[in-house]
Amino acid sequence: MADETLEILKASQIPSNVLLRHLRLDPDYVDDLEMQSVSAAYDAALSYVYERCGIDAAYADEHPDIAIAVLVLARDMYDNRSLYVDKSNVNRAAESILSCHDFNLI
């Protein structure tokens, strides 16, 4: 990593190669149908985070830990192929991160 500059990961702009690596998928072997499943898991995770915390993309993008929570949730959704989350089955690491950013105090 001599001259590499790492960009801060933004929840609303996670590149597909980062998402695929996190899901342990080789981009060379992911077809369009599989990529749709991956994208659906990412979109659902991102939507869940926004709704769960009462935040928007601008806030989420200022906090790299929220991007990690989105990746963790997307992985859980992809691995389990259950493209939804409810209060009883949220990953503990993601829940811990999100609780620090929760503005949805209902």
For residue 28, the domain's CATH number is 1.10.3230
DSSP state of 89: S
* Residue 92 in domain: yes
* Residue 67 in domain: yes
* Residue 5 in domain: no
In this prediction, residue 95 carries a pLDDT of 74
* Residue 3 in domain: no
* Residue 63 in domain: yes
**Two structure tokens written together for 46:** 């991102």
* Residue 95 in domain: yes
In this prediction, residue 55 carries a pLDDT of 93
Give the position of tokens 């209902």.
Answer: 106
In this prediction, residue 86 carries a pLDDT of 59
In this prediction, residue 83 carries a pLDDT of 43
Per the CB < 8 A criterion, the answer to whether 66 and 98 are in contact is yes
Mean pLDDT for 35-62 is 93
Inform me whether the pLDDT recorded for 5 exceeds 50.
yes
C-alpha to C-alpha distance for 20 and 36, rounded to whole angstroms: 12
* Residue 1 in domain: no
Domain span at 35: 11-99
Count the domains in the chain: 1
pTM: 0.75
